[in-house]
Amino acid sequence: MKNNKEVAAFILKEADIKINGNNPWDITVHNPKFYQRVLSSGSMGLGESYMDGWWDCEQLDEFFYKIITAKINTKIRSSSLLINVVMAHLFNRQSKIRSRQVGKKHYDIGNDFYQCMLDKHMAYSCGYWRDARNLDEAQADKLDLICRKLSLNAGEKILDIGCGWGGLIKYAVEKYKVKAVGITISKKQAEFAKKLCQGLPIEIRLQDYRDINEKFDSIVSVGMFEHVGYKNYRELFKVVNKSLKNHGLCLIHTIASNQTARTCDPWFDKYIFPNGMLPSIKQIGIATEGLFVMEDWHNFGSDYDKTLMAWYKKFNNNWDKFKDEYGDRFYRMWRYYLLSLAGGFRARYMQLWQITLSKDGVLGGYKSIR
């Protein structure tokens, strides 16, 4: 009968990964308890044991690309995943009361930290790399792509649900001469956005989307839909429908799943995005049916691999500024977060969608913009 190390080696061999091998995607194990921890706890055990320094890998992004391509991630299930599924079924994990948990846990860790990792627009979502040569260009091209898809006109009023640090609405106001309202559940993001947008016709609010009660010409949401939860999708789209003027457009920019699920990976749920989950085509279709005309569905998920690798490079290059404040365990957690996602997008395990919806249907038809 095989011991735990032999079992782990047999499983990893299917992904062309060796224990203590010489390839940059091979793993080096420092603690023999690693094998039992991963085999019994799945992704939670893999992530936490990495944070604890039990194993290392020179090229984590390629390690995860190989793991996911070989479907190793589907062969080891953990009890924590089962608990998340049950909790998601029984409770609304993204209720208004719980919605601000991710703000405190993730987005409020420090504006200066994010400034050293992100581009000059502070865009914490996938860049658009079709013509871009670097991160700043990819994010600027993404912001302009969104504005063009919404057909913004001077004097119109737009709403950004989950406005982050305010980069998108600042760009839209300055280039397209619109007025804007941005809402966020992160106190530190709101503070930063107010300073960034000072002097412009922009209002930044610390507000839940369920409390919106006014009309807008266009509504956009970038990187926020991942926090809504399947039990609230319909409610969100009802709010958007109610808040959108006739013939108005809405654009949802979201990471997405190839399969319908009700929860996310337990390690990510605990350490990165509490109560998060990725939507599927089916879930979005059900939530929008009868409320909107789907005008355009754009997938550029492979661009997230490039974005995450650019973020990791900046994070790694600037780490000396933060290591005394955050510590080694945070560094390993953040490295694992960025590079595991890069590998996931490289394997096309996750997608990035920009979905353009109209309230009444665009007269004469909507012209897709790329």
In tens digits, what is the pLDDT along the chain, a chain of 370 residues? 579 999 999 999 999 999 999 999 999 999 999 999 999 999 999 999 999 999 999 999 999 999 999 998 776 654 444 444 334 444 454 445 544 555 565 777 889 999 999 999 999 999 999 999 999 999 999 999 999 999 999 999 999 999 999 999 999 999 999 999 999 999 999 999 999 999 999 999 999 999 999 999 999 999 999 999 999 999 999 999 999 999 999 999 999 999 999 878 999 999 998 888 999 999 999 999 999 999 999 999 999 999 999 999 999 999 999 999 999 999 999 999 999 999 999 999 999 999 999 999 999 999 999 9
The domain 99-300+349-358 is placed in CATH, from the list 3.10.20.30, 3.40.50.300, 3.40.50.150, 3.40.50.720, at 3.40.50.150
* The token pair that represents 102 in the structure block: 């991710």
Q: Give residues with Cβ within 8 angstroms of 3, minimum separation 6.
A: 35
Report which secondary-structure segment, H or E, holds 28.
strand 27-29
> What is the 8-class DSSP label of residue 231?
G
CA distance 278 to 341: 13
Q: Residue 2: what pLDDT?
A: 76
Residue 204 has φ and ψ, to the nearest 5°, of -105, 130
What is the reported pTM?
A: 0.92
Q: Do residues 193 and 182 lie in contact, with contact meaning Cβ atoms separated by under 8 Å?
A: yes
CA distance 167 to 171: 6
> What is the 8-class DSSP label of residue 72?
G
Domain ranges of the chain: 1-77+302-347, 99-300+349-358
